[in-house]
Chain A
Amino acid sequence: MRKKIILQTKQISKYFYQPVKFKALDDISFEVFDSEFITMIGKSGSGKSTLLYILSTMDTDYEGELIIGGEKITGQKSDNLAAIRNKNIGFVFQFHYLLPEFSCLKNVMIPALKLGKLSPQEIEEQAYQKLTLLGIKDQALKPASKLSGGQQQRVAIARALINQPKIIMCDEPTGNLDSKNTSIVLETFHQLSQELGQTIIAVTHDNDFAEASNRIIEMADGKLINTI
């Protein structure tokens, strides 16, 4: 059975100009299929995070072409890109990045409130569902700043899931977590890709984490060197 392509890059290159002109990404072309759990590895400075930011649509300063879900992303206006991110892409960052003044529940709800497809009551229900899935339902009403790092990371994952995006992108999702929390996150990702059919693209340093994924993309000096 041919798998459906969900994300595709065509010859993406990127330069940094500070402090000197430097080619950060060199002619990157690859495809990501539906319901895949992909990890990108490489030494620091290899360009994997830079690539992830381009895939995330937040970085628009590159050459080449990015296609997500059959739609050409390259060249779209920033307001459109924001809407695309809101609907199709969920993010999990290394340093959890929650809004500290809001409760965990509100943090999870905010992207869905922005999307505005469901009523606030339905969104709240869904947010509880996601928090339950990640085992932190009991923390829902606490302010985000009162949680431990592992708990905050799980809230961030719940937030990434709330709009049921096609793709979830993670930048070092387990970088700050102990082994227990790491295995919880890994389990969750497997569950998401296998049971809910969501695509996961994660940048990681953690080889154990990478080996647990479906496919590993290895980068060095801005080039793809190995796809397993």
Chain B
Amino acid sequence: MKLNVNSEIALTHLLTRKKQTIIASLGVTVGIGIFIFMISMVVGFNRYSDEALFKTESHIRIYQDDTLSRPLIPKTKLGNTTIIINPKIANLSNTLLNPKKIIADLKKNENIVTVTPQVSVSLFYNNGISQINGVASGVNIIDANEMFNIQSTMLAGDIRNLLSTSNGILIGVGIAEKLNIKLYDNINITSSIGVVKMMKVEGIFKTSNSNIDLTKSYINLAISQQLMKESSSYLTDILVNIKDPNKAPEFSKQLKNLTIYKVEDWQAANEQSMSNKKTRQVMLGSISLAILLVAAFGIYNIINMTIKEKLNDIAILKATGFSGKDVINIFLKESLIMGIIGTSFGLLLASGLIKFISGIYIGGDREYFPIGFESSIFIIGGILGILITLGAGYIPAIGAAKIDPIEIFRK
């Protein structure tokens, strides 16, 4: 493509003032680079904390919520006396009715990745006189592993041993340490309704949450039903994982229409960490936006200075037939070129920073700094960089378009 005359003038301006051009572009480079880097850090960390959460929680949990007894007489008209009774928890059992039907229905939905039934049992772990209370999840271990990736958290043993050993148990590392129990040792458990069972430790796991390591265990579904003295149709929860965990709230709304039971998405179950997450996003987002703004002022400054120095040239151009639009066009092109150069190097800078920091060892179960290349952040950062520089160039360019050549010539 042949350069038109406006582009040619813009390019000449930039090339004859290389130093300023480079400095202004560098401002954009640093702004965009840090912006993308910070946002990537937020996204990486959020993803990491979500992943940690999903090792013990499903995206959606369906369970029988406690219902309160209703007053004997429903609320009557104003003025009438209403009998007040102390509300009591009314449900006799927290089992889900006809869970097989619910599971079969859920499995038909294409957005659902895994569905697994669960029985939660509150119990005590005993070894000699030491005792810890905790919660055992009675699961189908293969399904549960698909959902929580339990195998990846195992320190010792193998989850598949639960299949061959009906009274096998996988315990958290905290329980093992506190009760001084090793792999293949026996452990006594007492359920909340007093059923005692002798279990064999087939695995020890370690999650990123020490509280969970100190309370949680996995057992076979059948054992958990026995611990509650219930039949094989007894289920307390149905756990559901969907394709996009961020869509869990909408999806749980859909499911609420399909079942009478309580449907809870992970966001609702973890309000605390959700609000932490938001705070983090807002904080780092505003810091990086501020950096971007500073870069924009750099561009604004340079374009403004160019215009102040080139009043004569602008007057000449206008006298020889360039309109106000052409003048705006010339200076917009200048800031666009600086924006494109600055932004492209900014993308490179961000990649470099991300590459560098993702190699930093931080220990824990993640081992390396949780940050990754997010193409969507790079795209947003790139677009933002160019838009901001265009805006920063546009304001002084309007001023340049309004310059009255006669005033310049009269001086």
Contact = CB atoms under 8 A, between A and B. Distances in A.
B319 A101 contact: no
Interface in A81-116: 82-87, 91, 93, 97-102, 106, 110-111, 113-116
A56 B8 CA distance: 26
B73 to A, nearest CB: 81
Contacts, number: 69
Contact of B324 (A58, A79, A86, A99): A79
A159 B5 contact: no
B320 A85 contact: yes
A99 B325 contact: no
Contact of B320 (A59, A78, A91): A91
Contacts of A113: 4-5, 8
Contacts of B16: 101
Nearest to A59: B406
Interface string B107-128: 0000000000000000000000
Given A101-B12, A114-B5, A82 B405 contact: no
A175 interface: no
B5 A101 contact: no
Nearest to B12: A101
A93 B405 CA distance: 12
Judged by DSSP, the binding face of A is: helix
B318 A115 contact: no
Interface residues of A, number: 31
Contact of B409 (A53, A79, A159): A53
A64 interface: no
Given A99-B313, A101-B12, A114-B326, A86 B409 contact: no
Interface string B391-406: 0000000000000111
A159 B323 CA distance: 18
Contact of A114 (B12, B322, B405, B406): B322
A120 interface: yes
Interface of A: 49, 53, 56, 58-59, 78-79, 82-87, 91, 93, 97-102, 106, 110-111, 113-116, 120, 159, 171
Given A84-B321, A115-B321, 18 more contacts: A58-B318, A58-B319, A58-B404, A58-B405, A82-B323, A83-B321, A85-B319, A86-B322, A87-B321, A91-B319, A97-B312, A100-B313, A101-B16, A102-B12, A110-B9, A110-B317, A113-B8, A114-B321
